[in-house]
């Protein structure tokens, strides 16, 4: 019988892609989502993509009674992957309590339930935001965490500490926090991808929306940073590669002999690309000229950050396989599929 995996926030961008990779790897995943930052049509798209019914529970992961019911219905749960966090940096500055309540609250409810029901494995969705503006590049797992630039970043730091303390208390939980860099792209089928509600917070969906005429122009925030072309540099990781990293992390935890364990692993390509490189590469793969303007720098923007991903290879046997071109091509295919859907 295949192992049951609860995917909290599984209707979201990274969660939905991870759901597909779990199925393809022989697991039995179920989605838990309140659809506050995802659309119900994702479930239909997952059905079309996997040719299987999707088990999902609609509700709030902060609701202990709801989570108790989900776990009781599922029965023997092998592992949980926690994606159920709000993630807009700007919004977190405006609404910090919303972020602390949801991002930390849902983890506390989950860890209590995992302990009570003896669910042994947890993969936690963390972020490279915990590093802030690093003193040295590339960033390794031992790079010191800087004070967070936003409440969102702070919730990721606090959640990492909560998991570490929980494991240190001899709770029978084996956990890995994956610190990922900048997810982008979409499933090559064009059936699932990034579906931001409102204005996108990430560069790539903004690029594709401008190219598709959904938005008038892209603003590049600053072009006088001390980088090769003056624009910010990030490590862009294809969402399918990122989804596969969660499966690898689960497999690694399952093979550990100890009853409790905690580790942190960077998930990135190990290379940095500037905002202008992303724009030029997109124009090349799509054949679409992009309407962009140079604007002022944004507060809190880190100028350059990219990963050292050696540990991911050594510990969980994962490396990125897809390129920036692949990601932008897939993101554009996804954007076009949305446009076709809207015109029907």
Residue 199, pLDDT > 90, answer no
What is the arithmetic mean of pLDDT over 14-37? 97
Q: Is 194 exposed, middle or buried (0-12, 13-18, 19+ CB in 10 A)?
A: buried
The per-residue pLDDT for 149 is: 84
Residues found in the chain = 344
The one catalytic residue among 152, 236, 262, 306: 152
Query: What local confidence, expressed as pLDDT, does residue 154 receive?
Result: 96
pLDDT in tens, 140-183: 999 999 998 899 999 999 999 999 999 999 999 999 999 999 99
Is residue 115 packed enough to be buried (19+ CB in 10 Å), middle (13-18) or exposed (0-12)? middle
Give how far the C-alpha of residue 119 lies from the chain's centroid of Cα atoms, to the nearest Å. Answer: 22
Instruction: Determine the pLDDT at residue 298.
Output: 83
The answer to whether 175 touches 122, Cβ cutoff 8 Å, is yes
pTM, two decimals, is 0.96
pLDDT in tens, 264-322: 999 999 999 999 999 999 999 999 999 999 999 987 788 999 999 999 999 999 999 99
pLDDT of 246 over the 70 cut: yes
Residue 298 contacts residue 222 (beta carbons within 8 Å): yes
Q: Which residues pair with 292 in a beta bridge?
A: 218
Quick one: pLDDT at residue 342?
66
The position carrying tokens 């990135």 is 268
* pLDDT, tens digit, 9 for 90 and up, residues 85-133: 999 888 999 999 999 999 999 999 999 999 999 999 999 999 999 998 8
Cα angle value 138/188/21 (rounded, 5°): 75
Across the chain, the runs of DSSP E, i.e. the strands, are 4-8, 28-33, 56-58, 77-82, 121-127, 174-180, 182-184, 218-221, 233-234, 236-238, 261-267, 273-274, 292-295
Task: Report the share of the chain in percent with pLDDT over 70.
Answer: 99
Determine how many CB atoms are found less than 10 A away from the CB of residue 105. 17
Query: How high is the pLDDT of residue 344?
Result: 58
Tokens representing 112 are: 């209590």
Q: Give the count of beta carbons closer than 10 Å to the beta carbon of residue 118.
A: 10
pLDDT single digits (tens) 64-83: 999 999 999 999 999 999 99
- For each of the domains in the chain, give its residue range(s) and CATH number, in order of start: 4-184+237-268+306-320 (3.40.50.720)
In whole numbers, what is the pLDDT of the chain averaged over residues? 95
The rounded distance, in Å, linking the Cα atoms of 28 and 251 is 14
Q: In what order do the strands lie in the sheet with 28-33?
A: 56-58, 28-33, 4-8, 77-82, 121-127, 174-180, 261-267
Q: b vs e for 273-295, b when ≥16 Cβ sit within 10 Å of the residue's Cβ? A: bbbbbbbebbbebbebebebeee
Place of tokens 């699932």: 192
Query: For tokens 């998991």, what's the residue?
Result: 163
Is 152 noted as a catalytic residue in this protein? yes
């Amino acid at each position: 019988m295949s192992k049951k995996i609860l995917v909290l926030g599984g209707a979201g961008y990274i969660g939905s892609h991870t759901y597909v990779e779990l199925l393809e790897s022989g697991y039995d995943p179920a989605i838990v989502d309140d659809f506050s930052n995802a659309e119900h049509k994702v479930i239909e798209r997952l059905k079309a993509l996997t040719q299987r019914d999707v088990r999902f529970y609609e509700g709030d992961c902060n609701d202990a009674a709801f989570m108790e019911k989900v776990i009781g219905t599922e029965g023997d749960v092998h592992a949980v992957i926690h994606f159920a966090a709000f993630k807009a940096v700007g919004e977190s500055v405006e609404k910090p309590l919303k972020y602390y309540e949801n991002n930390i609250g849902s983890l506390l409810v989950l860890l209590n339930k995992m302990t009570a029901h003896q669910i042994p494995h947890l993969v936690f969705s963390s972020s490279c935001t915990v590093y802030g503006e690093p003193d040295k590049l590339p960033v390794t797992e031992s790079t010191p965490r800087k004070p967070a630039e936003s409440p969102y970043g702070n919730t990721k730091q606090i959640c990492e500490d909560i998991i570490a303390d929980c494991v240190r208390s001899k709770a029978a939980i084996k956990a890995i926090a994956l610190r990922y860099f900048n997810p982008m792209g979409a499933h090559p089928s064009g059936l699932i991808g990034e579906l931001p509600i409102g204005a996108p917070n990430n560069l790539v969906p903004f690029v594709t929306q401008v190219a598709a005429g959904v938005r008038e122009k892209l603003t590049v925030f600053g072009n006088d940073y001390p980088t090769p072309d003056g624009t910010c540099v990030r490590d862009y990781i294809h969402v399918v590669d990122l989804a596969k990293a969660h499966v690898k992390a689960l497999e690694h935890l399952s093979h550990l002999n100890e009853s409790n364990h905690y580790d942190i692993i960077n998930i990135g390509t190990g290379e940095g690309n500037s905002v202008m490189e992303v724009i030029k590469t997109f124009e090349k793969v799509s054949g679409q000229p992009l309407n962009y303007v140079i604007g002022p720098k944004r507060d809190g923007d880190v100028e350059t950050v990219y990963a050292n991903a050696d540990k991911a290879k050594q510990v969980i046997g994962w490396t990125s396989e897809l390129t920036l071109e692949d990601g932008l091509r897939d993101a554009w295919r996804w954007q076009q599929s949305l446009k076709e859907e809207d015109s029907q």
